[in-house]
């Protein structure tokens, strides 16, 4: 659904029960997150996911029915991802000054994310479809789903893995980076964007504006690099 006229027709005619439920669940999750003083373990996306899963289970609603009502959120992932190019433009001067370490970090993070998950999956005897679904897990959902479809993977599995990767990364990032003694907000944000895509970027913006900007840069660049690395790495593990 990419035609603006169709989108407006959909919004104006449907009851939007599940879109409302999705937004309400996130609002409740964000309220809980704020009440917990923005602790990383109280991730609002995780809270919203648990609440929605319980509601769907209790009401006996299928995922297909839910998605039909909430797909406008899915549609907005694309524009939201493109909009993250703004931090790249706004921080071009700072990006040039730190170009070499950022490129090294991007290569290390992207290659490690793809190769490690494929190696683990291969060791456990997963099918080629599962490996193709796993490969792009550390990039943002619209890109990851497109990569998975192109590689012959299952987009639904990829979407779940992307969500879990982002939530896990957002939860452990702050304590892990503190333990490693990394204090530079550029490094903290960039690493979080590369490893935990959009959810990690949202977490970085909650902590520090500079970290959020560099997380957006890391997420965008990692999406491009993963689209190149994933097919090559998957070919090696087949």
pLDDT average, residue stretch 151-167:
88
Closest CA to 201 of 230, 169, 158: 169
Are the beta carbons of 158 and 174 closer than 8 angstroms?
no
Tens-place pLDDT, residues 187-204: 898 999 898 888 888 888
What local confidence, expressed as pLDDT, does residue 12 receive?
Answer: 47
Q: Which is it for the CA torsion 12, 14, 19, 23, positive or negative?
A: positive
CA gap 40, 173 in Å, rounded: 8
Question: What's the pTM value of the predicted model, to 2 decimals?
Answer: 0.76
Tens-place pLDDT, residues 100-111: 888 899 999 999
CA gap 148, 79 in Å, rounded: 20
The structural domains of the chain, with segments of one domain joined by +, span 1-77, 84-238
State the distance between the two ends of the chain, measured CA to CA, in whole angstroms: 34
Q: Quick check: 68 pLDDT over 60?
A: yes
pLDDT category of residue 91 using cuts at 50, 70 and 90: confident
Question: Angle at Cα 26 formed by Cα 155 and Cα 168, nearest 5°?
Answer: 55
Q: Which residues contact 127 (CB under 8 A, 6 or more apart)?
A: none
């Amino acid at each position: 659904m990419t035609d603006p006229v169709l989108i407006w027709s959909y919004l104006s005619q449907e009851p939007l029960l599940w879109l409302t439920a999705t937004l309400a669940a996130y609002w409740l999750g964000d309220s809980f997150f704020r009440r917990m003083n923005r602790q990383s373990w109280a991730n609002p996306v995780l809270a919203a996911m648990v609440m929605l899963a319980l509601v769907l289970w209790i009401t006996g609603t299928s995922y297909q029915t839910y998605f039909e009502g909430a797909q406008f959120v899915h549609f907005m992932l694309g524009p939201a991802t493109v909009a993250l190019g703004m931090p790249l433009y706004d921080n071009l001067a700072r990006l040039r000054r730190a170009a070499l370490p950022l490129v090294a970090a991007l290569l290390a993070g992207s290659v490690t994310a793809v190769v490690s998950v494929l190696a683990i999956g291969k060791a456990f005897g997963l099918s080629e479809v599962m490996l193709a679904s796993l490969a792009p897990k550390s990039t943002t959902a619209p890109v990851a789903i497109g990569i998975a479809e192109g590689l012959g993977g299952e987009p639904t599995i990829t979407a779940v893995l992307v969500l879990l990767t982002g939530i896990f990364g957002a939860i452990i990032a702050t304590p892990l980076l503190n333990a490693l003694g990394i204090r530079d907000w550029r490094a903290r944000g960039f690493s979080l964007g590369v490893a935990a895509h959009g959810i990690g970027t949202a977490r970085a913006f909650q902590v520090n504006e500079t970290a959020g900007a560099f997380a957006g840069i890391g997420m965008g660049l990692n999406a491009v690099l993963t689209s190149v690395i994933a097919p090559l790495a998957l070919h090696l593990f087949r």
